[in-house]
Amino acid sequence: MNWDVIVENLPLYLEGAKLTLILAFASLCISFFLAISLAFLRNSENAALRYTVMAYTLVFRGTPLLVQLFLIYFGLAQFSLVRESVLWPWLSSPMVCVIAAFVLNTTAYSTEIFAGGLRHIPVGEIEAARAYGMSGLVQARRILIPAMLTRSLPLYGNEMIMMLHATSLASTVTLLEVTGVARNITLNYYIQFEPYVTAAAIYLVLTFALVSAFQLVQRRWAGYLESRIG
Amino acid sequence: MVADYAAAILSAGSTTLLVAVLSLLVATFLGLTAAFAKLSASAGLRAVAGIYTFVVRGIPDLVIMLLVFYSLPALLNQWIEMLGWDFRVEFSPTAAGIATLGVIFGAYMTETFKTALQNIPRGQIEAAIAYGLTRRRMFTHIILPQLVRLALPGFTNNWLVLAKGTALVSLIGLQDVMFRAKGAAEATAMPFTFYLIAAGFYLAVTLVSMLLLFLVAHRFDVGTRKVLS
């Protein structure tokens, strides 16, 4: 066994874990706001808007994230228009491509989750808000968005964990997050067992921490829904 | 030229579908076994099934695949060397891919089947026991038909995720749709075109699966009361 190699390279793993968390956190933060807006459009009375959002979520939920990532990172270079544009230094960076792909992907899933939450708000709550004379914006801010988010919490928690795990795909486009670090160590030291097991352990710890934090949030913000069922 | 490469990519669709279907079989078997283990009276079985689902769902699919394809044979070879035997273990990408996807989605299936089993009314099981049905007949006549209906939405979902998850096997060298698309992209400097064709393939699989499973769900919903509409 070569565990001393792992101990020697622990700082690399730490850097990797930091990048993993940054990728997951950045993608989730950006997609959170996009998904809330899109969830309203997904339930809009305007059929054109509704179907456009539906088509977007269908395409991004219906194809593998790996394909989406490769389309953006390798694919865009096919067009000279893109290569010669001022944005090219950005679009050729793996970091930007990875976050763009992750945001597009997780926004599609989150939109459907939030849209589902929005549809399940009891009509009475919305009628009450109208009866109080709230404008559309005030209704959304005070009633709809909080009710939608608390109702979507369990599913959104799953999506967050999915996103955390999806960051491992960033290693396929040269980024050195946890999986990328493990891969590099296997190549540099010709050992196949320890590096990946260490990576797996790190993901387990991160997942466990996220799940625990989420249960606290759930009890704090969505506790009122549970007592009603039980 | 584009047409030739496109044909090569789409002809690998059979490999992708074969991997997906075989993984689904493994996953269904593991899922059913672990679901019964989780609901069993034995604390040992419950713990084993609990650890299985916790560990698998706590690690990214890609890492599990690398563990199965690289780490596991490395570990086995170390043991073989210690025992002084004269051979080496190596997994084929196909076997490793199917095993990995089966194990991963087995964990997701476990939760689906467990919830479905819990939703079968307890009284029906008691009635079956009271009628003196053997365990086997109780399973085939009472549990299974309802399990199919109750687990179908979750099962559908898992299948859709699994079909897309097969794209990962290209990373361990299995010649699936994604692997061929990468080959074509690198050979022609037209990556967008060929990855788009691959994306189209996966989207088609998703749409066809959704349609088929909608029809199956309709069939198994016969006889349930509709509360609304």
Report residues of chain B scoring pLDDT below 50: 229
| CA dist., res. A169 & res. B63, Å (int) | 9
**A192 in contact with chain B, both atoms CB, cutoff 8 A:** yes
- Smallest CA–CA distance, residue A207 to chain B, in Å, is 6
- Smallest CA–CA distance, residue A205 to chain B, in Å, is 8
Interface test with B, best of A5, A68, A71, A204 (most B CBs within 10 A): A71
Residues of chain A neighbouring B196 (CB-CB closer than 8 A): 71, 75
Number of other CB atoms surrounding residue B129 within 10 Å = 12
Q: Which residue ranges form the domains of chain B, and what is each CATH number?
A: 2-220 (1.10.3720.10)
Give residues with Cβ within 8 angstroms of A211, minimum separation 6: A157, A161
Q: Which two tokens stand for residue A176?
A: 């050195």
DSSP state of A171: G
Is B182 in Cβ contact with A67 (below 8 Å)?
A: no
Amino acid at A55: A
Q: Which two tokens stand for residue A26?
A: 């950045």
pTM of the full predicted structure? 0.91
Amino acid at B79: W
Residue A105 confidence (pLDDT) above 70: yes
Is B193 in Cβ contact with A78 (below 8 Å)?
A: yes
pLDDT tens-digit profile of B116-174? Answer: 999 998 898 899 999 999 989 998 998 988 898 899 889 998 999 999 999 999 999 99
Three-state SS at B12: coil
Residue A113 pLDDT grade (very low, low, confident, very high; cuts 50, 70, 90):
very high
Give residues with Cβ within 8 angstroms of B19, minimum separation 6: B94, B97, B98, B101, B166, B169, B174, B176
**B89 in contact with chain A, both atoms CB, cutoff 8 A:** no
Q: Which helix (H) or strand (E) holds A105?
A: helix A94-119
Three-state SS at B110: helix
| CA dist., res. B35 & res. B116, Å (int) | 10
pLDDT tens-digit profile of A128-166? Answer: 999 999 998 999 999 999 999 999 998 999 999 999 999
- Smallest CA–CA distance, residue A179 to chain B, in Å, is 7
- Spacing of C-alpha B47 from chain mean position: 22
pLDDT the model gives residue A221 = 86
| CA dist., res. A112 & res. B167, Å (int) | 23
Is B75 in Cβ contact with A63 (below 8 Å)?
A: no
What is the interface size between A and B, counted as CB pairs within 8 Å?
Answer: 119
Instruction: Note whether A196 and A187 are within 8 A (CB).
Output: no
Q: Between A59, A169, A197, which is nearest B71 by CB?
A: A197
- Smallest CA–CA distance, residue B137 to chain A, in Å, is 34
pLDDT tens-digit profile of A139-149? Answer: 999 999 999 99
Among residues 53-72 of chain B, which lie with CB inside 8 Å of chain A?
55, 57-64, 66-67, 70-71
Residue A100 pLDDT grade (very low, low, confident, very high; cuts 50, 70, 90):
very high
Q: Between A64, A193, A200, which is nearest B75 by CB?
A: A193
Residue A230 pLDDT grade (very low, low, confident, very high; cuts 50, 70, 90):
very low
Residue A228 pLDDT grade (very low, low, confident, very high; cuts 50, 70, 90):
low
pLDDT tens-digit profile of A57-85? Answer: 999 999 999 999 999 999 998 998 888 88
Residue A220 confidence (pLDDT) above 90: no
pLDDT the model gives residue B219 = 80
- Smallest CA–CA distance, residue B70 to chain A, in Å, is 6
pLDDT the model gives residue B225 = 61
Scanning chain B, the segments in alpha helix (DSSP H) are 2-11, 13-38, 43-58, 61-66, 72-82, 93-118, 122-130, 135-137, 144-165, 177-188, 191-220
Average pLDDT over residues A107-121: 95
Q: Tell me chain A's radius of gyration from C-alpha atoms.
A: 21
pLDDT the model gives residue B223 = 67
Classify A3-229 by CATH class. mainly alpha
Q: Tell me chain B's radius of gyration from C-alpha atoms.
A: 21
pLDDT tens-digit profile of A159-216? Answer: 999 999 999 999 999 999 999 999 999 999 999 999 999 999 999 999 999 999 998 9
| CA dist., res. B73 & res. B88, Å (int) | 8
pLDDT tens-digit profile of A5-50? Answer: 999 999 999 999 999 999 999 999 999 999 999 999 999 999 999 9
Is B195 in Cβ contact with A74 (below 8 Å)?
A: yes
Is A172 in Cβ contact with B199 (below 8 Å)?
A: no
